[in-house]
């Protein structure tokens, strides 16, 4: 007879782990199934050389401020029963910057840094900026905002297109789940998460994943790696269980899937949602000395290279329109970090990369890596003259490998299920495709869908 659980969770990324903890707290029998050998999806880790720990993905963690227990990090900690201090998030040591051909704004965890930059560069817009930030803190009419686009939202406040570009770019870089425009609700959430709540970094992502797994297991939750869900089973029009790649069937009353809406649909033999095409290429350079000693005096740097900001992936062999740089050790950690990683990345079309044959793929990978290293040198001359311990790159193919998101969609599919529902009763989506974008977004999504669909359904 098939084993039976109250809830099966597909994926041990941040959404799956937070949903698992939340359900286990309510004495639900929960099983998390993860196809990989490690948790975290692409925001995971690996070891190189003599056991040196590398974070894959991690640039920064948004929602640094945990004071508001009804929103963001505070809400996550309250719901998971974890003390915010146990995440060991450190604030940035240096400001971050937003650059377009029209100018530069600085920002940091003190909103005054961004406000001062806006006031200096766009004095006529400072009143609008203050109003915008205040309004984002108020309760929002989510369904109305979900139907509107971010340009309409910004257009209600700002007149200067250059300022709109500068404020839009970072939100799209950290949450632009589809080309063109994203919805105003997600835009507002991501803007608030970065600029009003601030950013931080754990010493490494393994620390956070270990913390979540320890909490889940302490509540009796079960987590199995190397278990790929190959099929979702239904009976009488309702979720019944899953079948693993090895043919094992496991039954449950409900299922929360972080595989993505389109991907979950395929597991159920259906066509739901739409996979995202916006993926990423990223080169990580490991230096032997702290980055700020090497002249890297920014924590994050986001660049739009076009005169007008557009959110789109390059087509074919077009190069890139945006760059992101993240300096992993420019945070005020309690202990000096032993790794000094600088990441530089650009957005790419997943379908383009997945369509390349093996030889062209390797050629393109080497070519774009050279370009990324060139962009680094242009911004930090002499940096790469230092003996770099190592550098390597990830491509949209890597994203597919670690997340199973079709086309390597970095923020999931281009259609979101805001309430987590799917057409199959008993089956829900969490994480990226419930609009829970980024690490904190995914953690929040796991909590919210567990609360409103399983623990207190109908509320
Ligand atoms: C290069 C890169 C850098 C990023 N950097 C940051 C950052 O600095 N800060 C930030 O906040 N966010 C960042 N993100 C975004 C962030 O990683 C995601 O938004 C977030 O991790 C999504 O979490 P999730 O749990 O929804 O999904 P995922 O992390 O995608 O987890 C889904 C999990 O489900 C598993 N799975 C899928 N299908 C199956 C199946 N059939 N059976 C079993 N298991 C399955 C996958 O293996 C995976 O572990 C980055 C993303 C990328 C790609």
Q: Which of 41, 189, 205, 434 to mutate to test the pocket of ligand 1 (most atoms within 8 A of CB)?
A: 41
pLDDT score at 54: 87
Residues 391 and 284 in one domain: yes
Distance (Å, whole) CA 62 – CA 71: 12
251 found inside a domain: yes
Which tens digit of pLDDT belongs to each residue from 345-381?
A: 999 999 999 999 999 999 999 999 999 999 999 999 9
Residues 442 and 337 in one domain: no
Average pLDDT, the chain: 93
103 found inside a domain: no
Distance (Å, whole) CA 32 – CA 216: 10
Which tens digit of pLDDT belongs to each residue from 95-116?
A: 999 999 999 999 999 999 999 9
Which tens digit of pLDDT belongs to each residue from 314-344?
A: 887 668 999 999 999 999 999 988 889 999 9
Distance (Å, whole) CA 44 – CA 281: 16
pLDDT reading at 391 higher than 70: yes
| 435 secondary structure, DSSP code | T
Q: Which of 22, 43, 372 to mutate to test the pocket of ligand 1 (most atoms within 8 A of CB)?
A: 43
Nearest atom (ligand 1) to Cα of 402: 47
Distance (Å, whole) CA 225 – CA 37: 5
Which residues form ligand 1's pocket by a CB distance below 6 Å? 10-16, 33-36, 41-43, 57-62, 228-229, 258-259, 280, 282, 399, 403-404, 410-411, 431-432, 436-439, 442
pLDDT score at 147: 81
Last residue of a domain, one of 151, 186, 221: 186
Nearest CA to ligand 1 atom 2: 57
Residues 123 and 79 in one domain: no
pLDDT score at 386: 83
pLDDT score at 459: 63
DSSP sequence for 34-75: -SSSSSSTTS-EEEETTTEEEESS-S-BS------TTSHHHH
Residues 299 and 388 in one domain: yes
Residues 79 and 141 in one domain: no
Bridge partner list, 39: none
> Distance from the CA of 125 to the center of ligand 1, in angstroms?
37
pLDDT score at 382: 86
Report which listed range, 69-73, 177-181, 208-212, 337-341, is most confident.
208-212
> Distance from the CA of 247 to the center of ligand 1, in angstroms?
25
pLDDT score at 271: 96
3-class state of residue 80 by DSSP: helix
436 found inside a domain: yes
> Distance from the CA of 129 to the center of ligand 1, in angstroms?
32
Residues 371 and 441 in one domain: no
Residues 152 and 121 in one domain: yes
Domain region containing 70: 3-88+203-274+412-455
> Distance from the CA of 432 to the center of ligand 1, in angstroms?
8
Stretch 41-59: mean pLDDT: 87
pLDDT reading at 1 higher than 60: no
Bridge partner list, 327: 342
Kindly provide the ipTM of the predicted complex, given to two decimals: 0.99
224 found inside a domain: yes
Stretch 60-72: mean pLDDT: 92
**Residue 24 in contact with residue 219, Cβ under 8 Å?**
yes
177 found inside a domain: yes
Stretch 280-308: mean pLDDT: 94
Residues 79 and 210 in one domain: yes
| Strand ranges for 77-228 from DSSP E | 96-100, 103-107, 222-224
Nearest atom (ligand 1) to Cα of 57: 3
382 found inside a domain: yes
> Distance from the CA of 403 to the center of ligand 1, in angstroms?
6
User: What CATH number did the domain enclosing 76 receive?
Assistant: 3.50.50.60
Distance (Å, whole) CA 193 – CA 96: 15
pLDDT reading at 133 higher than 90: yes
> Distance from the CA of 386 to the center of ligand 1, in angstroms?
33
Nearest atom (ligand 1) to Cα of 17: 25
Q: Tell which residue, 89, 109, 105, has the closest CA to residue 97.
A: 105
Q: Which of 9, 10, 13 to mutate to test the pocket of ligand 1 (most atoms within 8 A of CB)?
A: 13
**Residue 246 in contact with residue 55, Cβ under 8 Å?**
no
Q: Which of 19, 96, 282, 403 to mutate to test the pocket of ligand 1 (most atoms within 8 A of CB)?
A: 403
106 found inside a domain: no
**Which H/E stretch holds residue 4?**
strand 3-10
Residues 207 and 67 in one domain: yes
Nearest CA to ligand 1 atom 45: 11
> Distance from the CA of 441 to the center of ligand 1, in angstroms?
11
Stretch 292-320: mean pLDDT: 90
Q: Is 269 left (phi over 0), alpha (psi -120 to 50) or beta?
A: left
Among the ranges given (61-65, 73-77, 388-392, 398-402), the one the predictor scored with the smallest mean pLDDT: 388-392
Residues 282 and 419 in one domain: no
Stretch 158-183: mean pLDDT: 93
Residues 263 and 251 in one domain: yes
Nearest CA to ligand 1 atom 35: 11
Residues 322 and 379 in one domain: yes
pLDDT score at 384: 87
The whole-angstrom distance between residue 228's C-alpha and the CA centroid of its chain comes to: 22
Confidence label for 143 from pLDDT (cuts 50, 70 and 90): confident
> Distance from the CA of 122 to the center of ligand 1, in angstroms?
37
> Distance from the CA of 19 to the center of ligand 1, in angstroms?
14
pLDDT score at 389: 65
Measured between its terminal Cα atoms, the distance across the chain in Å is 34
Report the 10 Å Cβ neighbour count for 339. 17
The structural domain count of the chain equals 3
Nearest atom (ligand 1) to Cα of 437: 19
Is 3 buried (19+), middle (13-18) or exposed (0-12) by CB count in 10 A? Answer: middle
pLDDT score at 282: 96
pLDDT score at 51: 80
Report which listed range, 180-189, 255-264, 313-322, is most confident.
255-264
Among the ranges given (54-58, 182-186, 216-220, 317-321), the one the predictor scored with the smallest mean pLDDT: 317-321
Last residue of a domain, one of 141, 161, 186: 186
> Distance from the CA of 1 to the center of ligand 1, in angstroms?
33
Nearest atom (ligand 1) to Cα of 394: 1
Confidence label for 25 from pLDDT (cuts 50, 70 and 90): very high
101 found inside a domain: no
Which tens digit of pLDDT belongs to each residue from 69-88?
A: 888 999 999 999 999 999 99
Nearest CA to ligand 1 atom 26: 431
Bridge partner list, 421: 428
Q: Tell which residue, 191, 125, 190, has the closest CA to residue 161.
A: 125
Last residue of a domain, one of 157, 186, 215: 186
């Amino acid at each position: 007879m098939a084993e039976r659980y109250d809830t099966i969770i597909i994926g041990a990324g941040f959404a799956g782990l937070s949903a698992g903890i939340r359900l286990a707290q309510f004495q639900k029998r929960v099983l998390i199934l993860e196809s990989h050998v490690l948790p975290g999806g692409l925001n995971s880790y690996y070891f190189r050389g003599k056991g040196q720990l590398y974070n894959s993905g991690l640039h920064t963690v948004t929602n640094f401020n945990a004071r508001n227990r009804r929103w963001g990090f505070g809400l996550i900690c309250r719901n998971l029963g974890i003390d915010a201090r146990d995440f060991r998030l450190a604030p940035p040591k240096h400001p971050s910057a937003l650059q377009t051909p029209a100018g530069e704004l600085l920002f940091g965890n003190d909103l005054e840094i961004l406000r001062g930059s806006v006031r200096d560069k766009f004095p006529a817009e400072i009143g609008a900026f203050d109003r915008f930030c205040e309004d984002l803190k108020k309760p929002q009419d989510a369904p109305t905002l979900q139907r509107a686009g971010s340009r309409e939202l910004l257009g209600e406040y700002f007149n200067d297109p250059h300022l709109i570009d500068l404020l839009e770019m970072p939100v799209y870089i950290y949450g632009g789940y589809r080309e063109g425009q994203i919805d105003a609700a997600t835009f507002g959430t991501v803007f608030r998460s970065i600029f009003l709540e601030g950013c931080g970094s754990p010493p490494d992502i393994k620390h956070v994943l270990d913390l979540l797994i320890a909490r889940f297991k302490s509540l009796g939750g079960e987590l199995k790696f190397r278990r790929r869900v190959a099929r979702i089973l239904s009976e009488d029009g309702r979720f019944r269980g899953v079948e693993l790649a090895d043919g094992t069937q496991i039954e449950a009353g409900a299922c929360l899937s972080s595989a993505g809406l389109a991907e979950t649909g395929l597991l159920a033999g259906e066509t739901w949602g739409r996979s995202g095409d916006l993926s990423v290429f990223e080169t990580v350079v490991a230096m032997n000395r702290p980055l700020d000693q090497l002249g890297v005096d920014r924590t994050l740097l986001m660049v739009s290279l076009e005169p007008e900001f557009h959110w789109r992936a390059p087509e074919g062999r077009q190069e890139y329109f945006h760059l992101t740089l993240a300096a992993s050790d420019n945070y005020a950690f309690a202990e000096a970090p032993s790794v000094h990683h600088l990441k530089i990345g650009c957005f790419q079309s997943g379908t383009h990369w997945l369509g390349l044959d093996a030889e062209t793929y390797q050629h393109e990978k080497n070519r774009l890596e050279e370009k990324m290293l060139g962009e680094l040198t242009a911004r930090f001359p002499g940096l790469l003259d230092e003996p770099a311990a190592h550098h390597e790159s990830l491509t949209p193919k890597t994203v597919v490998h670690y997340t199973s998101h079709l086309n390597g969609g970095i923020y999931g599919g281009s259609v979101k299920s805001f309430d987590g529902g799917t057409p199959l009763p008993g089956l829900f989506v969490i994480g990226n495709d419930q609009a829970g974008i980024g690490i904190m977004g995914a953690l929040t999504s796991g909590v919210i869908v567990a609360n409103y669909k399983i623990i207190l359904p109908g509320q």
